[in-house]
């Protein structure tokens, strides 16, 4: 199943958001009437109250905030702009306190040459680069949360293109340690991503990372490929990620997920399909797998299927309902989860 699915990921897939490189949690649409004006800061953000129910013997259930974020962005005279965002949810981060997530200054020389410096997302992968408030399912795929870690870091990035160009690219030089910690070695990570719109309904993307997550000698190499297909109301997307070498065991998984122990080689993929029955109702199905140690066949391998829907009350309010069916190799655990989330944007 795993090998067949990997091949299918290379052949076809898509998503409803534009395929530009997203540095932070909110995209700026250059066609929008809400584009930024010089010397006029814009406050923005969103909250995602959520209910989780686990189908185990204890029937564990909890109310929480998946995310609660607030930020400010704006332009300075000339071609400079800034972007700043805080995560205030106590359920993300190691301490449970609010922390600085995105904070970068950008200089735009042209549509093809833009430079950003500060803390921002690593330019790797379709799902990681999709803003959290635009995700089709409540959770990102397991492979994205586990292998594209840390998802945010400090560094310098060169990028270009937008939603109207066929080509988009980003290349970053980053510490490789993640947010809230000091760099512990003299080396830097190189992370890059490029997408190309073959036709209006088909976009392919590739990502690469090479770095030193723990010291000056042990390296980590990561490759990713994705392909996106949209035809009228039908949207399909898929992605494959392969990772090998050292990794930072102190680095948490994406969006508060618990990191797992990794082998020397690991990979994973997902495929997702959604259909806009109306402007308000969108059912979705997602299949994914994650192998934390390719050399070990009987332990750790995970599969998961997600079925659910999105209901859009308006452009600012969305309801998501997801049922996650977990499948672990050689383990019989009752751990399917029902997730319900309401998102409010401002």
Q: Which of residues 244 and 178 earns the better pLDDT score?
A: 244
Q: What are the tens digits of pLDDT across the range 204-235?
A: 999 999 999 989 999 999 999 999 999 999 99
144: helix, strand or coil:
helix
What percent of the chain clears pLDDT 70, i.e. is strictly above it?
88
Mean per-residue pLDDT, 324-329: 86
H or E element, residue 146 = helix 142-147
Residues 6+ apart with CB under 8 A from 329: 297, 298, 299, 300, 301, 302
306: helix, strand or coil:
strand
Mean per-residue pLDDT, 116-144: 95
Tell me the HSE value of 276 on the side-chain side, using a 13 A CA sphere: 13
Q: Which CATH number do you get for residue 323?
A: 2.40.160.10
Q: What local confidence, expressed as pLDDT, does residue 249 receive? A: 80
Instruction: Using CA atoms of 158, 20, 271, 312 in order, give the dihedral in degrees to the nearest 10.
Output: 140
The answer to whether the predicted template modeling score (pTM) of the entire model surpasses 0.85 is yes
Which of 244, 345, 227, 233 is CA-nearest to residue 294? 244
What is the pLDDT confidence band of residue 78, given thresholds at 50, 70 and 90?
Answer: confident
Residue 19 scores a pLDDT above 50: no
Q: Which of residues 258 and 119 earns the better pLDDT score?
A: 119
Per-residue DSSP letter, 112: T
Q: What local confidence, expressed as pLDDT, does residue 24 receive? A: 74
What is the pLDDT confidence band of residue 95, given thresholds at 50, 70 and 90?
Answer: low
Q: What are the tens digits of pLDDT across the range 182-198?
A: 888 889 999 999 999 99
291: buried, middle or exposed (CB in 10 Å: 19+, 13-18, 0-12)?
buried
What is the pLDDT confidence band of residue 293, given thresholds at 50, 70 and 90?
Answer: very high
- Domain total for the chain? 1
Question: Which residues are paired to 224 by β-bridges?
Answer: 207, 241
What percent of the chain clears pLDDT 90, i.e. is strictly above it?
70
Q: Which domain, by its residues, includes 98?
A: 2-345
Residue 10 scores a pLDDT above 60: no
Round the average pLDDT of the chain to a whole number and report it: 88
Q: What local confidence, expressed as pLDDT, does residue 30 receive? A: 46
For residue 25 the two structure tokens come to 């949690």
C-alpha span between 237 and 228 (Å, rounded): 5
């Amino acid at each position: 199943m795993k090998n067949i699915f990997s091949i299918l990921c290379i052949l076809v897939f898509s998503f409803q958001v534009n395929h530009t490189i997203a540095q932070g949690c909110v995209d700026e649409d250059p066609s929008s009437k809400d584009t930024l004006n010089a010397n006029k800061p814009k406050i923005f953000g969103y909250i995602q109250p959520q209910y989780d129910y686990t189908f185990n013997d204890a029937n564990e259930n909890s109310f929480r905030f998946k995310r609660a974020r607030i930020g400010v962005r704006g332009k300075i005279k000339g071609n400079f702009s800034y972007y700043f965002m805080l995560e205030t949810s106590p359920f993300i981060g190691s301490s449970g306190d609010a922390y600085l997530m995105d904070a970068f200054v950008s200089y735009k020389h042209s549509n093809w040459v833009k430079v950003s410096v500060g803390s921002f997302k690593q330019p790797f992968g379709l799902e990681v680069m999709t803003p959290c408030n635009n995700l089709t399912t409540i959770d990102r795929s397991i492979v994205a949360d586990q292998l594209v870690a840390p998802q945010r870091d400090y560094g310098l990035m060169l990028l270009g293109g937008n939603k109207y160009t066929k080509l988009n690219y980003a290349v970053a030089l980053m510490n490789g340690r993640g947010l809230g910690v000091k760099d512990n070695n003299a080396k830097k990570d190189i992370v890059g991503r490029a997408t190309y719109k073959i036709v209006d309904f088909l976009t392919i993307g590739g990502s690469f990372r090479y770095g030193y997550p723990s010291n000056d000698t042990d390296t980590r190499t990561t490759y990713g490929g994705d392909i996106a297909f949209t035809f009228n109301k039908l949207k399909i997307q898929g992605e494959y990620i392969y990772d090998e070498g050292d990794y930072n065991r102190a680095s948490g998984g994406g969006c508060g997920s618990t990191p797992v122990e990794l082998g020397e080689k690991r990979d994973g993929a997902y495929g997702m399909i959604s259909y806009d029955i109306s402007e308000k109702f969108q059912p979705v199905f997602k299949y994914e797998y994650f192998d934390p140690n390719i050399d070990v066949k009987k332990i750790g391998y995970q599969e998961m299927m997600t079925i659910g829907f999105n209901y859009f009350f308006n452009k600012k309010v969305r309801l998501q309902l997801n049922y996650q069916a977990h499948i672990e190799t050689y383990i019989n655990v009752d751990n399917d989860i029902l997730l319900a989330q309401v998102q409010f944007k401002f």
